[in-house]
Amino acid sequence: MSTYGEKLSAFLDGELSEAEEREIEAALARDPALQAELDALMSADVSAQQEFGLIEAEPVPLELAAAIRNARVGIVANAQEAPKGMPAWVATAMAVFFLVIGGTGGYLAAVSQGQQVVTAPRWLADIAEYHAVYAAETRHLVEVPADEADHITAWLTKSVGAEVRIPDLAANGLSFQGARLLVAAGKPVAQLMYTDAAGAVVALCLIRSDAPNDGFTTRTLNGFDMVSWGGTGSNIVLIGDEGRPDLPQIAEAAAAQV
């Protein structure tokens, strides 16, 4: 594990100061090996949650995920003593984890068959959970309605700490409905809500970040498709129903305006 090992866990949990977050983001941008370490840590966390059926509950402690990923070959699940230097609770949790994957095939089988394990930064996982709630709303879809656009941009720009603009996505069949202020990974997030002619909800979310623009990234999380990218002083994600074919085109149109 790199010298940033402990900070990576805190980074995913949103426990670092702004200065420390910028340090990690800069290190990730210049060090592919560190990014791979972060991806592996997130994969271990997600796979552990999936095996225990806790994807909708509290996240698996990242210390446990890291311990599982870095466990030495030869650790026996029913060993009476924990490996030297490892807390007893970690060894117990690992034993349960490996018993589960032994019975179901689980994560190791998925990897051996070439199946992709979905990973995402914590703020995107939080956004997916919020969207599952708010996309089902009608009367209470937004906090501030679309006819207060000037107030929305001023309010959210001040709250988030990065410029918020409202893209006009009418050419993509979307009508702006208004906005909400969320909290994801311990940071304020601007959420702009759109609907199409069928009433399906698409949300554009923005969080302050100094990470460099690394192009569009697509993923499916919690039953929703997401397209994320880096803006000026921010990270942005567009989220909609899983399988929505025009989401990448909507993301491109939004990116050109924000």
Q: What is the pLDDT of residues 216-253, one digit of tens each?
A: 989 898 899 999 998 778 999 999 999 999 999 999 99
Cα angle 60, 36, 121; round to 5: 45
Q: Six-digit token pair at 212?
A: 């460099």
Task: Tell if the pTM clears 0.75, that is, is over it.
Answer: no
Kindly tell me if the per-residue pLDDT of 145 is higher than 90. yes
CA distances, 134 to each of 58, 63, 250 (Å): 20, 31, 20
Residue 210: band (very low, low, confident or very high) from pLDDT cuts 50, 70, 90: confident
Architecture of domain 122-255: 2-Layer Sandwich (3.30)
User: Where are the domains positioned within the chain?
Assistant: 5-112, 122-255
CA distances to 79, 158, 228, 229 from 91, rounded to whole Å, are 9, 46, 37, 38
* Among 75-89, 107-121, 201-215, 223-237, the range of highest mean pLDDT: 223-237
Q: What is the pLDDT of residue 102?
A: 45
User: pLDDT tens, 29-64?
Assistant: 788 788 778 777 776 665 555 454 444 444 545 555
184-199 pLDDT, tens digit each: 888 899 999 999 999 9
Distance of CA 247 to the CA centre of its chain: 18
Q: How many alpha carbons fall within 13 Å on the CB side of residue 115?
A: 12
For residues 225 and 242, what is the distance between their CA atoms, to the nearest angstrom?
5
Give the Cα separation of 57 and 4 in Å (integer).
Answer: 28
User: Is residue 212's pLDDT more than 70?
Assistant: no
Cα 164 to Cα 141, 192, 195: the distances in Å are 19, 9, 19
Please name the amino acid found at residue 229. Answer: W
* CA atoms of 196 and 203, how far apart (whole Å): 11
- Mean residue pLDDT across the chain: 76
